[in-house]
Structure 1
C-alpha cells in the first residue's frame, strides 16, 4: 500500500495564532485566495508523495538519526513569498527568520535519510515557508507582500520534527487531513559543550 507523507517543523499554537490574528482582519471576503487551515500551517522539510508501507520502519529509524544529528534552534515567522512569483502567484506563503541555516541543514539531513530509506523526495531546493493560501488561477499578490513585510511573529525554539501522513480530500471542505505518525527530537548535544 502506498502512503502520502511529509516531514515538517510545526510551529507552536501561539505562533500560528499570532500570525492568524494578524492576517484575518486583512483578508478580503471576495478574494480568490483559498486560505489554508491555520492548524495545518507548517514548514515542510521533505514531501514524500508515494511511499511503500513496508519501508516505514526503516524511514522512522533514519529520521530518528537525522533529527538526532541536529541541534535545537530559534525561528520566527517573517516576510512573504509566492510560488512561482508575486506577479503570477499560485501559492502565497509566509517566510521564516532566525537560524535558517540550521533549518536548511535539518531539511538536508531529513531528505537524505528518506532517500536512504528508499523513499522518493519530491520538490526542488528547500525553500522554508508556511503556505497561507492557494489560488486556482495565477494572481498578483504583491499587496500581500507589503502586508506581511510588516509582520514579525514571536520566536520559538525548534525542538522536534514530525512525520505526517496526508489523506487527500478527507479533511474539512474536501481538504487534506494530516495525521501525526511520529515525532523526532533534535538532540545534538554540541550546544552543551
Structure 2
C-alpha cells in the first residue's frame, strides 16, 4: 500500500476562512506574483509528518491522543501579516496568531514528544505558529506587497478569534490542481 502524506493541524471555522479570503482579495489588488492558498485549505499546521506507512497511523493517532490529553481548548486571535524569510526575497505570506500562543506551542511540543517516541525526528527549527495566506513566486511587485502589509498592520485590526477545540490528523494528497486535504481523525482537546 502507498504511503500517506500526513500532518497534524488545527482546521479553521468557515467564518474565519471567509475573512482570510477577504484579506487575500485586498492584497491581490497589488498584483504581486502570489499563489494564494485556497479557502478550503486554510489551516494551522501543528506538525508535518511527511510520508507515513498506513499501518503506523493508528499508533500515531493513539500516542498523540495520550500526549495531548488535558491540554484543553486554546483561544487564539488572528491578526497582523508577515512574510518568511524576513531578509531577502520573501517566499511565504502569513497571518499571525495572538492569544494563548504559549498553550498552542505547548500542544505542539506534546505532539512532537509523542512522535519522537514513535521514531519521528524532532523539527530542526522552533515552532512558529502562523496561517499561510500565499506563496510568493517572484519579486514582481513584492515591494508594493510589503508596503500594503505594513499599511494593513498599522490599522491594528483583529481578523477574527478562534477557540481551538480539536487537533486533526490530516492527509495531504498532491494533485496537479494543488493539495487536497482530508481529515483522518480528530482529537478533542
Matched with 1:15 is: 16
> Whole-Å Cα distance in 2 between the matches of residues 29 and 137 of structure 1?
14
> Whole-Å Cα distance in 1 between the matches of residues 122 and 175 of structure 2?
22
Matches within 5 A, 1:11-160: 11-28=12-29, 30-85=31-86, 87-120=88-121, 124-137=125-138, 139-140=142-143, 141-149=145-153, 150=155, 151-160=157-166
Partner of 2:149: helix, strand, or coil?
A: helix
Compute the RMSD of aligned alpha carbons: 2.0
> Whole-Å Cα distance in 2 between the matches of residues 106 and 144 of structure 1?
33
Distance 1:20 1:64, change over 3 A: same
Matched with 1:167 is: 173
State the 1:40 CA deviation: 1.0
Alignment TM-score, normalising by the size of structure 1: 0.85
Partner of 2:137: helix, strand, or coil?
A: strand
Mapped contact 2:27–2:148 kept (Cα < 8 A)? no
Which blocks of at least 5 consecutive residues in structure 1 are unaligned? 187-193
State the 1:39 CA deviation: 1.6
State the 1:29 CA deviation: 7.0
> Whole-Å Cα distance in 2 between the matches of residues 122 and 175 of structure 1?
25
Which blocks of at least 5 consecutive residues in structure 2 are unaligned? none
State the 1:147 CA deviation: 4.3
Alignment: residue pair count: 183
User: Bigger CA drift: 101-110 or 75-84?
Assistant: 75-84
User: Bigger CA drift: 143-152 or 159-168?
Assistant: 143-152
> Whole-Å Cα distance in 2 between the matches of residues 10 and 168 of structure 1?
18
State the 1:144 CA deviation: 4.2
**Residue-by-residue CA offset, 1:8-49 (whole Å, 9 max, x unaligned):** 111211112123223313422742011010221111110011
